[in-house]
Chains A and B, each alone.
Chain A
Amino acid sequence: MASIDIAAVRKSYGATPVLRGIDLTIANGEFVVLVGPSGCGKSTLLRLIAGLELIDKGEIRIGGRRVNDLPPKDRDLAMVFQSYALYPHMSVRDNMSYALRLRKTPKEKIAAALKGASAKLGLDALIERKPRALSGGQRQRVAMGRAIVRDPQAFLFDEPLSNLDARLREQMRFEIKKLHRDLGATSVYVTHDQIEAMTMADRIVAMNEGVIQQVGSPSDLYDNPANLFVAGFIGSPAMNFLQARTVAGPGGMSVTVGQAEIAKVPPATPTGPVVLGLRPERITLTAPGQGAQAAVDLVEPTGLGMIVHLDLDGQQLKTFTTERLPLKAGERVGLMVPPGSFCLFAPGTGERLAG
C-alpha cells in the first residue's frame, strides 16, 4: 500500500484543457472519491494516475516514487473498469490470476491468492466459467477479484457500478466499502454519482471543469460547501438556491427573500444581493403566520417522507420532511430556517460567504 501525491498536474487534449492544475495528496489506506459531472476531468485524472495517459505538466508520485514516465505495468496499481474489461476468452480463474502469472508468481501462491479472493467475493462456484456466462453483478465481482488477488500499491475504480441496476449497485457499494475496511488499501474511486461519493468516501474530491472545487469529508462538503457548484452537486434532493439580499435592520443583519426575512446573519456580513442556499431537509414548515410565508405548489411523497415544492415570493423552493403533513396545492404555509443551517454565496463568483 502506498500514498499518492499529485502536484500541479495539467493535461490537455489538443487545444482543450482537461485538467488545469491539480494538487492532491491521498494518504496511505485512504478511500478517496473523485466526483463531478461528466467532462470534469475526474476520469482523466484517474487515467493519469494509472499511467494510461501521459501527463503534460506536473508530477505524480506513488509511494514517494515519481511515476510520470513509468508505463502502467510498472506502477503496480489495480484498476476496475466501468465495462469490467474481463478477458472474454479466459475463465474467471484465468482472469483473476492473469496479473500473477505475468509476474511469474509460483503456482501455490497463485492458488492461495485465488482461493482467498474468490472466497471473499463468493466466486468459488464460478471459477471455471467464462465471463459471458456471468451476470452483471458476477462480472463486477470478478473485476474486483482480479484487482484484489494482486495486493497492489493502490486500487483505482473508474465508475465501477454505473452498469449495474439500482439494487445491485447499493449492494456492491456496501461490499466495496467492506473490502476496503478489511484490506485497508489506498483507493481512488471515480464516480458521477454523489450518493456513491457520500456513502463510500473517507474524503471526497469534488471536481468541475478540470479544477478541484473542494476536498473534504462527506459531511464537510455537505454542511460547508465551498461554492455554489459543490453545494448544488452534493445532496439529493439538491440544495435550494434563492436570490436574496442581506439587509441591516433594527434587529441586526438579516437575509431576506423579497419582503420575507429568512434568518439572522452575523453583523459583519456586507449588505447587498446574495445567493441563499437552503438544504431542503433543514427547512421547518410551520403554520401560516409564523416565519416566512409561502404557498404549496406540489407535494411528492417518497415513502420515507415527502418533498414539498413551495413558492416563496415567486421563487421555487423544495423542502423535505419526514412528517406526513396533510398539505394541498395552493395552501399557505410558514417556513423557518434554524440559525446556522443555511449558506450564503456571492452571486457573481459563486464563492461561499462567511456566515
Chain B
Amino acid sequence: MRNPGYWIFHYGLLALFVVFALFPLFWLFKVSITPNDLLYSEGVRIWPSRMSFDHYGAVLRHSDFPLFFRNSVIVSTLTAFFSTIFAAAGGYAFSRFTFGGKLWIVGLLLVTQMFPLVMIVAPIFRLLAPLGLTNSLTGLVIVYTAFNVPFAVFLMQSFFDGIPKELEEAAMMDGASRFQALLQIIFPLTLPGIAATLGFVFTAAWSELLFALMLNSSTAASTFPVGLLAFVSKFSVDFGQMMAAGVLALIPVCVFFFFIQRYLVQGLTAGAVKG
C-alpha cells in the first residue's frame, strides 16, 4: 500500500487535468444558457442566476445553422466512409503484399502530410473551380478524403499488421479465395481498426475550417465551422447563439463516438500493445 499522500497527489493531478480539459466545454454550455441581458453583467459567474434556452431556439429557428449542420453531417459521414474504404484497401496492400514501388508510394503518402494546408489552398481552389467543385459539398468530400487517406492508410496498416498472416493462409487452405478470407476472417478482426479510422476521419472532417471557408463561400454549401463564424458580425459577436450552435455541433460527434467507443478502446489499446 502506498501512503495516502501519494493518492491525494495522484488524484489531485488527474483532477487538475480533467478540469483544465473540460472547463472550456463547461463554459461553452454555460454561456449558451445565459440570457443575453446577463451575459455581460454576470460574465464571470460560474453559473448564471437565470437560465434560458432562447439561444437554442434562435439558432434552430432563425439562423442557417440547421443547414450548415446538415451539410457537415453529409460531408463528414461521406468523408469518413470513403477514407476508411480507401485506407482499408491501401493498408491491407501495404501490410500483406510486396510490390514494385511500395517504398516510393509510402514516401509520397508521407510527403502529402508535410505541407501546411495553407500552402495548398490556392492550387486546390484553382484545380476545383473549373471542375465546378467549389461551393459544393462534393468538392469538400473529395478534398477531405484525399487529405485524410494517407494517415488513415498507416493507421489501418498497423491494424492489419497486428493480425497474423497465418489466419488468412489457414482460410485459403480451407478453400477460401484471398478476397473471401479478407471478408470473412480478416474484416471481422479489423473492426476495431475500422472504428478508430472512422472516428478519426469523421472528427477531422467535422471540425475542418480552412478548406470549408476557402472553397465554399455560398451559404448553401457551408459547413458548421464556417457557420459559427457567421455569428461574428462587424459590430458584435453573438456569443450566446454561437455557443448554443457549438453545443449542438458536439452532439453528432458524441453520438458517433458512443456507437464506436467499444471498438475504439479495443482498437487503440490493441494497436498500442502490438506497436
272-304 of chain A: CB within 8 A of chain B: none
Q: Give the distance to chain A from B210, nearest Cβ to Cβ, in Å.
A: 41
Among residues of A, the one whose C-beta sits closest to the C-beta of B173 is A79
CB contact under 8 A between A98 and B173, given known A87-B185, A89-B189? no
Most chain A beta carbons < 10 A, residue from B170, B176, B178: B170
Among residues of B, the one whose C-beta sits closest to the C-beta of A99 is B174
Question: With A and B bound together, what is the CA distance between A52 and B189 in angstroms?
Answer: 21
Q: Give the distance to chain B from A154, nearest Cβ to Cβ, in Å.
A: 11
77-110 of chain A: CB within 8 A of chain B: 77-79, 81, 83, 85-89, 98-99, 102-103
**Is B176's CB under 8 angstroms from A102's CB?**
yes
Q: Quick one: which of B173, B177, B180 contacts A50, CB cutoff 8 A?
A: B173
Most chain B beta carbons < 10 A, residue from A50, A72, A76, A156: A72
Q: Quick one: which of A72, A78, A88, A98 contacts B169, CB cutoff 8 A?
A: A72
Q: Quick one: which of A52, A85, A86, A103 contacts B175, CB cutoff 8 A?
A: A103
* Complex contacts, A81 vs chain B, CB 8 Å: 166, 169-170
Q: Is A71 an interface residue (CB 8 A)?
A: yes
Q: Is B164 an interface residue (CB 8 A)?
A: yes
123-179 of chain B: CB within 8 A of chain A: 164, 166-167, 169-178
Q: Give the distance to chain B from A94, nearest Cβ to Cβ, in Å.
A: 10
Q: Is A10 an interface residue (CB 8 A)?
A: no
Q: Is B275 an interface residue (CB 8 A)?
A: no
- Count residues of A near B (Cβ-Cβ below 8 Å): 24
Q: Give the distance to chain B from A90, nearest Cβ to Cβ, in Å.
A: 9
**Is A102's CB under 8 angstroms from B180's CB?**
yes
Q: Is A73 an interface residue (CB 8 A)?
A: yes
Q: Give the distance to chain B from A268, nearest Cβ to Cβ, in Å.
A: 52
Q: Is A42 an interface residue (CB 8 A)?
A: no
Question: With A and B bound together, what is the CA distance between A268 and B101 in angstroms?
Answer: 62
* Complex contacts, A89 vs chain B, CB 8 Å: 188-189
CB contact under 8 A between A79 and B189, given known A71-B177, A102-B180? no
**Is A85's CB under 8 angstroms from B167's CB?**
yes
* Complex contacts, A318 vs chain B, CB 8 Å: none
Q: Is A146 an interface residue (CB 8 A)?
A: yes
**Is A88's CB under 8 angstroms from B189's CB?**
yes
Q: Give the distance to chain B from A179, nearest Cβ to Cβ, in Å.
A: 18
**Is B172's CB under 8 angstroms from A85's CB?**
no
Q: Give the distance to chain A from B64, nearest Cβ to Cβ, in Å.
A: 46
Question: With A and B bound together, what is the CA distance between A333 and B149 in angstroms?
Answer: 77
* Complex contacts, B180 vs chain A, CB 8 Å: 102
Among residues of A, the one whose C-beta sits closest to the C-beta of B174 is A99
**Is A72's CB under 8 angstroms from B188's CB?**
no
* Complex contacts, B164 vs chain A, CB 8 Å: 83, 85
Question: With A and B bound together, what is the CA distance between A72 and B170 in angstroms?
Answer: 10
20-61 of chain B: CB within 8 A of chain A: none
**Is A99's CB under 8 angstroms from B189's CB?**
no
**Is A52's CB under 8 angstroms from B177's CB?**
no
* Complex contacts, A146 vs chain B, CB 8 Å: 170, 174
164-216 of chain B: CB within 8 A of chain A: 164, 166-167, 169-178, 180, 185, 188-189
CB contact under 8 A between A73 and B169, given known A85-B164, A88-B189, A102-B180? no
Interface flags, B94-130, vs A, CB<8A=1, else 0: 0000000000000000000000000000000000000
Q: Give the distance to chain B from A99, nearest Cβ to Cβ, in Å.
A: 4
Q: Give the distance to chain A from B7, nearest Cβ to Cβ, in Å.
A: 34
Interface flags, A54-79, vs B, CB<8A=1, else 0: 00000000000000000111001111
CB contact under 8 A between A99 and B175, given known A83-B166, A85-B167, A87-B167? yes
Interface flags, B206-239, vs A, CB<8A=1, else 0: 0000000000000000000000000000000000
**Is A52's CB under 8 angstroms from B172's CB?**
yes
Among residues of B, the one whose C-beta sits closest to the C-beta of A72 is B172
Q: Quick one: which of A52, A83, A88, A102 contacts B174, CB cutoff 8 A?
A: A102
**Is B188's CB under 8 angstroms from A73's CB?**
no
**Is B169's CB under 8 angstroms from A52's CB?**
yes
Q: Give the distance to chain A from B189, nearest Cβ to Cβ, in Å.
A: 6
Question: With A and B bound together, what is the CA distance between A52 and B173 in angstroms?
Answer: 8
Q: Give the distance to chain B from A334, nearest Cβ to Cβ, in Å.
A: 55
* Complex contacts, B169 vs chain A, CB 8 Å: 50, 52, 72, 79, 81, 85
**Is B167's CB under 8 angstroms from A73's CB?**
no
205-244 of chain A: CB within 8 A of chain B: none
Among residues of A, the one whose C-beta sits closest to the C-beta of B180 is A102
Question: With A and B bound together, what is the CA distance between A156 and B171 in angstroms?
Answer: 14
**Is B166's CB under 8 angstroms from A78's CB?**
no
**Is B175's CB under 8 angstroms from A87's CB?**
no
Question: With A and B bound together, what is the CA distance between A77 and B177 in angstroms?
Answer: 14
Q: Give the distance to chain A from B89, nearest Cβ to Cβ, in Å.
A: 20
Q: Quick one: which of B166, B172, B185, B189 contacts A73, CB cutoff 8 A?
A: B172
Question: With A and B bound together, what is the CA distance between A71 and B174 in angstroms?
Answer: 11
Q: Quick one: which of A51, A76, A79, A150 contacts B170, CB cutoff 8 A?
A: A79
Q: Give the distance to chain B from A201, nearest Cβ to Cβ, in Å.
A: 22
What are 25 residue pairs bridging A and B, where the CB atoms are less than 8 Å apart in the complex? A50-B173, A51-B172, A52-B172, A71-B177, A71-B178, A72-B169, A73-B173, A73-B176, A76-B175, A79-B173, A81-B166, A81-B169, A81-B170, A83-B164, A85-B166, A85-B170, A86-B170, A87-B167, A87-B170, A88-B189, A98-B171, A98-B176, A102-B174, A102-B175, A102-B176
**Residues of B at under 8 Å CB distance from A?**
164, 166-167, 169-178, 180, 185, 188-189
A76-B175, A102-B180 known, 18 other contacts, Cβ within 8 Å = A51-B172, A71-B172, A72-B173, A78-B173, A81-B170, A83-B166, A85-B167, A87-B171, A87-B185, A88-B167, A98-B176, A99-B174, A99-B175, A102-B174, A103-B175, A146-B174, A150-B174, A156-B173
